[in-house]
């Protein structure tokens, strides 16, 4: 069994309630932080821990906190990003649903460190029942003196507010989230200014993911240095992975980032192998936006080394032969899955979710969907593959926010690694409507250059 820092108590009966959470050692870290530590010391521990943002970009949390502007007399805000809409990702939901007080405790400590008296949880609108669980936990925490005025006699006031979104993936992007929190359309802002200078209501704001903020609790409890000893290299601590697709045990797992991808997929402690005894074809290891990898490149890097479930190893080889840790949404495809169709559903998703501000993203996502649809329906031309490649290349890097890149990468990776499957669809138009390209050579061991 790997180390569990976040989900250790997830199965304790009644852990959702304040009393049980407290009895199991809850709010001890908050007490320590507020009573015994200075603000600088808390930020220092988070820096030492090496904690990287768990929302997808992996930016060091302690560094982000130290950027927050502190102009005299202007309120500052912490905003918790619980928008969780990246296909394949459902870890934050699990954490909030089963351990609401862990998040509240993390938010309290972080709010104290950042000087946020009004902290917001922006939760995707569809998670209505999870929002209710959080509201209930906030009432309990307030009743027990952990939120409200003059917490623990420190003079620090803090309230946590739950704000429900209304169905828009783009609102997970931090500046779109801020716009949405101001009651507007979720159109990302042009940066700079960065939220740390001018964010919510033009006040200094830090936006962090649910899991990032929950991880502050074990960091304060054990100290940043101890936290940093778990894991490997710059992948410190533990990471929640939401695993789905064609595996025996879909679900949310906490890993310590030293486990190999192969073990994660095949061991009974985690995914339990491919469902129905089938073969692994491909995997999108970090949420729908990151490059898809064929089985051979997933389990081993291009150099023939074992690939591990951590930031560095998953991105080994860059986009040519690697992928990314992303949000931890681990999507597994078996031998019967069609890459063209899978890519099409993702292209449709990005077209649907583009806010429409930038032409390359708005128009490009629409075209990619149309062309993929054409190939999928057995009406594709060979030139369509190059056209797809050209469109994705023109989107990437040419837009206000990274949704453009997120839409381009899955298409690029699918063509890069599975071009023969696209060609097969075009060369076998009728056959492609009734059967699949299948596994072909994707699971073969890759050739290791001498």
Partner 1 sequence: MSLQFNNEQMTEFKRLIAHYPEGKQKSALLPVLHLAQDSFGGWLPTEAMDYVAGLLQIEPIEVYEVATFYSMYNLKPVGKFVFEVCQTGPCMISGSENIIAYIQKQLAIQPGETTKDGMFTLKLVECLGACGYAPMMQVGKIYREHLTKDKVDAIIAEYRMQIVAQN
Q: Which residues bind ligand FMN (CB under 6 A)?
A: 53-57, 59, 61, 81, 83-86, 170, 172-174, 207-209, 212, 401-403, 406
What is the number of other CB atoms lying within 10 angstroms of the CB of residue 389?
15
Q: Is 273 helix (H, G, I), strand (E, B) or coil?
A: coil
Enumerate residues 171-190 that contact ligand SF4 by CB under 6 A.
188
What is the number of other CB atoms lying within 10 angstroms of the CB of residue 426?
19
Q: Which of 253, 249, 271 is nearest to 262 (CA)?
A: 271
Q: Tokens in use for 447?
A: 């050739």
Q: Tokens in use for 114?
A: 């950042």
Cβ distance to ligand FMN smaller for residue 158 or 207: 207
Judging by DSSP bridges, how do beta strands 251-255 and 239-245 pair with one another? antiparallel
- Answer for which of 137, 355, 385, 408 binds ligand SF4 (CB under 6 A) is 355
Q: Which does 392 bind (CB under 5 to 8 A by kind): ligand SF4, ligand FMN, partner 1, none?
A: none
Taking CB under 6 A as the rule, which mask of x and - marks residues 375-404 in contact with ligand SF4?
------------------------xxx-xx
- Answer for which of 86, 105, 256, 384 binds partner 1 (CB under 8 A) is 86
Write the DSSP symbol of residue 231. Answer: E
Cβ distance to partner 1 smaller for residue 51 or 271: 271
Cβ distance to ligand FMN smaller for residue 95 or 340: 95
- The stretch among 37-45, 299-307, 352-360, 366-374 that binds ligand SF4 (CB under 6 A) is 352-360
C-alpha to C-alpha distance for 439 and 428, rounded to whole angstroms: 16
Cβ distance to ligand SF4 smaller for residue 9 or 394: 394
CB 399 within 8 A of CB 359: no
Half-sphere exposure of 152 (CA within 13 A, CB side): 16
Residue 77 backbone zone (phi > 0: left; psi -120 to 50: alpha; other: beta)? beta
Q: Which does 168 bind (CB under 5 to 8 A by kind): ligand SF4, partner 1, ligand FMN, none?
A: partner 1
For the chain, the maximum distance between any two Cα atoms, rounded to a whole number of angstroms, is 74
Half-sphere exposure of 244 (CA within 13 A, CB side): 12
Give the distance, in angstroms, between the CA of residue 385 and the centroid of all CA atoms in the same chain: 29
What is the number of other CB atoms lying within 10 angstroms of the CB of residue 132?
12
Q: CB of 2: closest distance to ligand FMN in angstroms? A: 22
Q: CB of 353: closest distance to ligand FMN in angstroms? A: 7
What residues form DSSP beta bridges with 280?
334
Write the DSSP symbol of residue 378. Answer: T
Cβ distance to ligand SF4 smaller for residue 188 or 237: 188
- The stretch among 124-132, 324-332, 356-364, 429-437 that binds ligand SF4 (CB under 6 A) is 356-364
Told to check if 165 binds ligand SF4 by CB under 6 A, we report: no
Q: Which does 54 bind (CB under 5 to 8 A by kind): ligand SF4, partner 1, ligand FMN, none?
A: ligand FMN
Q: Which residues bind to partner 1, rule: CB under 8 A? A: 75, 84-90, 93, 118, 120, 124-129, 161, 163-169, 180-186, 201, 242-246, 250-252, 284, 288, 329, 331, 333-334, 337, 341-342, 345-346, 348-349, 352-353, 355
């Amino acid at each position: 069994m790997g180390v569990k820092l976040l989900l250790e108590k997830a199965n304790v009966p009644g852990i959702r309630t304040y009393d049980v959470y407290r009895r199991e050692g809850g709010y001890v870290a908050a007490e320590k932080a507020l009573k015994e530590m200075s603000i600088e010391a808390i930020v220092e521990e988070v820096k030492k821990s090496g904690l990287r943002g768990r929302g997808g970009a992996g930016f060091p949390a302690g560094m982000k906190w130290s950027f927050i502007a502190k102009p005299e007399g202007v309120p500052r805000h912490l905003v918790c990003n619980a928008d969780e809409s990246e296909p394949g990702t459902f870890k934050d939901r699990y954490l909030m649903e089963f351990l609401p007080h862990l998040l509240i405790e993390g938010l309290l400590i972080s709010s104290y460190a950042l000087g946020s008296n009004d902290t917001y949880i922006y939760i995707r609108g569809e998670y209505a029942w999870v929002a209710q669980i959080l509201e209930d936990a906030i009432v309990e925490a307030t009743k027990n003196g952990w939120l409200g005025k003059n917490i623990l006699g420190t003079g620090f006031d803090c309230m946590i507010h739950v704000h429900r979104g209304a169905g828009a993936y783009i609102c997970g992007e931090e500046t779109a989230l801020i716009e949405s929190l101001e009651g507007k359309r979720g159109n990302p802002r042009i940066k700079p200014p960065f939220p740390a200078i001018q964010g919510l209501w033009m006040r200094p704001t830090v936006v962090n993911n649910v899991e990032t903020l929950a991880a502050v609790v074990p960091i304060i409890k054990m100290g940043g240095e101890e936290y940093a000893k778990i894991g490997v290299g710059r992948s410190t601590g533990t990471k929640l992975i939401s695993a789905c697709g064609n595996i025996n045990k879909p679900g949310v797992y906490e890993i310590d980032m030293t486990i190999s991808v192969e073990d994660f997929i095949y061991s009974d402690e985690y995914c339990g192998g491919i469902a129905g005894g089938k073969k692994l074809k491909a995997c999108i290891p970090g949420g729908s936006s990151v490059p898809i990898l064929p089985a051979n490149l997933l389990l081993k890097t291009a150099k023939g080394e074992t690939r591990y479930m951590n930031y560095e190893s998953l991105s080994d080889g860059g986009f040519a032969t690697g992928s990314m840790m992303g949000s931890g949404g681990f999507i597994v495809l078996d031998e019967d899955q069609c890459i063209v169709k899978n890519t099409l559903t993702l292209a449709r998703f990005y077209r649907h979710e583009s806010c429409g501000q930038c032409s390359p993203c708005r128009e490009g996502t629409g075209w990619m969907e149309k062309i993929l649809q054409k190939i999928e329906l057995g009406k594709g031309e060979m030139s369509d593959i190059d056209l797809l490649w050209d469109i994705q290349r023109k989107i990437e890097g040419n837009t206000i926010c990274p949704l453009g890149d997120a839409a381009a990468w899955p298409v690029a990776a699918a063509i890069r690694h599975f071009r023969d499957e696209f060609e097969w669809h075009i060369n076998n138009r009728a056959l492609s409507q009734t059967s699949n390209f299948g596994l072909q050579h994707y699971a073969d061991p890759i050739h290791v250059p001498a």
